[in-house]
Structure 1
Amino acid sequence: MSNNATESSGGVQSVDRALTILEVLARRGELGVTEVAAEFGVHKSTAFRLISTLEGHRLVEQAGERGKYRLGIGLLRLAGATTARLDVVQEARPISKRLAADTGETVNVAVLSESSALYLDQVAGSSAIQTHNWVGQHIPLHATSNGKVLLSGVPDDQLDDVLHELPAFTGLTVTKRSALRHELEVVREQGYAVAVDELEEGLTAIAAPVRNAHGDVIASISVSGPTFRLDEAKTKEVIPRLLDAAVEISHRLGWGHR
């Protein structure tokens, strides 16, 4: 076996052991390094290294008794993020169905995921004969209406941390940061984003922000379809319906008052 293969195997084994430590802690509450070493039949230094790595990510923390460890608050953060996404999908689904029925086009719900937009849910409208299923896929932020809405919720001084390269997908893709920043200002002012032929030629999408109880942009909802159908006139018809849907979902998540 090559050195690379050996290192890869060892890495997978370490990940497996680390995850098992979390499972054991979930069952038993607290464990010391000696107990972890005995559980896996490894040297105490190996057990300590695994626990230290988990502690560095706040997945475990030291208990009151010296030398004992328990599950950390980092797990709550991960669980909270998952719960929040599930809440968005649950609250948005009936409204997405109604919006898809009213417009005849495909409705998508997306969230920011590091440097891309992650599609959480999709409802096909009656006009969509055969639509691509985007659920679970990551799409570029700068070339999509959902992405621009999600970026509009990122503070200006943090945009460079989220945005890296701005590749061109069509001749209409925005590839200059200055132009994109200007577009985001417009999105914030008007409350929605439109992308025409920017990710794919012949594809138009309009998106609006979904907010949480604090008013933060936590997701986006979009209506998309062929550019020949979602022309300027149809887009103007869709925008108020889309905005109403985004506001209704936001209200369901605790934003504002009716």
Structure 2
Amino acid sequence: MTTVQSVDRAALILEIIARDGEAGVGRIAKELGVHQSTASRLVAALEGHDLVERRAEGAPVQLGVGILRLAAATRPRLELTAQAGPVCEALAEELGETVNLAVYRSGAAVNLYQAQGARTVALHNWVGDATVLHATSSGKMLLAHLPEPQREAVLDGALERFTEHTVVDPRALRSQLVEVARDGWAVAEEEFEEGLNAVAAAIHGPEGDVLAALSAAGPTYRLGHDRLPEVASRVREAAQEISHRLGHREEPGSALAAE
């Protein structure tokens, strides 16, 4: 039995138990189409990580407390999309553009949610995609709020050019990021794709840290340079609403409150 096959079967065991509430090793073996000794070894491995448990020796297998530990790790992301979803949908309908929610993960901006208004010309579905930081509005917003060592690691690395408008000079990017942090919004004009413009604002958590970036993107013939400040203002307002839903409270006179 290969490692991949073992992982696949272990995942199926968890799905069987989740479906039925509990299952005996014999029934698990039958559903997997394996010998009972093989199913028993897999169950024992899952027990070792508290992912399954039994009330007594020989009793049916149930999901274990380790599942709760894993579920807890996903809760912030689930809460973020749950709170942001309605705001994204409303903003997309209002602007007539595509709205995305992105978070920083391992040197990239990963899109968690996408909304499109009824009149929006369909764009690529970015949900689940990891995009670069230096050439997208969401990426720039997230990059501007990274700890300096992480930010500098990105700027000192290879900055890929996607179009003739992509900024690949680290000094120019540093200057842009200062403006992003100061002004509260980031822009990418045909930097990742020809004919596509976007603006983004930051979503803050209860302690004021930046959890995600909210962006609106559209074709240049509709979301042109002159319209970007107006759209940026609405994106910032929507990002503040999401931040408020997540428990963030702006201090009077703070930079965020002044946005």
TM-score by length of 2: 0.71
CA contact (8 A) 1:105 1:126 kept: no
Paired residue for 2:90?
98
Instruction: Give 1:166's match in structure 2, choosing from 149, 159, 171.
Output: 159
Matched, 1:115 2:114: no
Paired residue for 1:199?
192
CA contact (8 A) 2:144 2:151 kept: no
Q: What letter is aligned with 2:174? A: R
Give the 3 Å change call, closer, same or farther, for CA 18–256 of structure 1 in structure 2.
same
Paired residue for 1:246?
239
Give the 3 Å change call, closer, same or farther, for CA 13–148 of structure 1 in structure 2.
same
Q: In percent, how many aligned pairs have the same letter?
A: 44
Q: Give the Cα separation in 2 of the matches to 1:170 and 1:80.
A: 41
Deviation at 1:14, TM superposition (A): 5.3
Of 164-173 and 245-254, deviating more is 164-173
CA contact (8 A) 1:146 1:193 kept: yes
Paired residue for 1:186?
179
CA contact (8 A) 1:106 1:122 kept: yes
Paired residue for 2:202?
209
Paired residue for 2:217?
224
Instruction: Give 1:255's match in structure 2, choosing from 234, 248, 252.
Output: 248
Deviation at 1:72, TM superposition (A): 9.0
Q: What letter is aligned with 2:160? A: P
Q: Give the Cα separation in 1 of the matches to 2:150 and 2:118.
A: 39
Give the 3 Å change call, closer, same or farther, for CA 14–155 of structure 1 in structure 2.
same
Q: Give the Cα separation in 2 of the matches to 1:224 and 1:76.
A: 37
Give the 3 Å change call, closer, same or farther, for CA 76–158 of structure 1 in structure 2.
farther
CA contact (8 A) 1:144 1:205 kept: yes
CA contact (8 A) 1:143 1:199 kept: yes
Structure 1 gaps of 5+ residues are 1-8, 29-39, 61-70
Deviation at 1:177, TM superposition (A): 2.7
Q: Give the Cα separation in 1 of the matches to 2:128 and 2:195.
A: 23
Paired residue for 1:37?
none
Q: What letter is aligned with 1:251? A: H
Q: Secondary structure at the match of 2:2?
A: helix
Matched, 1:147 2:152: no
Q: Give the Cα separation in 2 of the matches to 1:202 and 1:82.
A: 35
Q: Give the Cα separation in 2 of the matches to 1:130 and 1:41.
A: 52
Q: What letter is aligned with 2:239? A: A
Give the 3 Å change call, closer, same or farther, for CA 112–78 of structure 1 in structure 2.
farther
Q: Give the Cα separation in 2 of the matches to 1:76 and 1:217.
A: 26
Give the 3 Å change call, closer, same or farther, for CA 238–155 of structure 1 in structure 2.
same
Q: Secondary structure at the match of 1:245?
A: helix
Give the 3 Å change call, closer, same or farther, for CA 226–156 of structure 1 in structure 2.
same
Q: Secondary structure at the match of 1:119?
A: strand
Q: Give the Cα separation in 1 of the matches to 2:134 and 2:178.
A: 14
Q: Give the Cα separation in 1 of the matches to 2:139 and 2:228.
A: 18
Instruction: Give 1:12's match in structure 2, choosing from 4, 28, 31.
Output: 4
Give the 3 Å change call, closer, same or farther, for CA 116–76 of structure 1 in structure 2.
farther
C-alpha RMSD of matched pairs (Å): 3.6
Paired residue for 2:31?
none
Of 140-149 and 95-104, deviating more is 95-104
Aligned length: 226
Deviation at 1:134, TM superposition (A): 1.2
Q: Secondary structure at the match of 1:178?
A: helix
Q: Give the Cα separation in 2 of the matches to 1:77 and 1:156.
A: 31
Q: Give the Cα separation in 1 of the matches to 2:152 and 2:69.
A: 24
Instruction: Give 2:229's match in structure 1, choosing from 232, 236, 248.
Output: 236
Provide, for residues 184-229 of structure 1, a one-character-per-residue CA deviation record: whole Å limited to 9, x for no partner: 2211111110000000010000000111111111111111101121
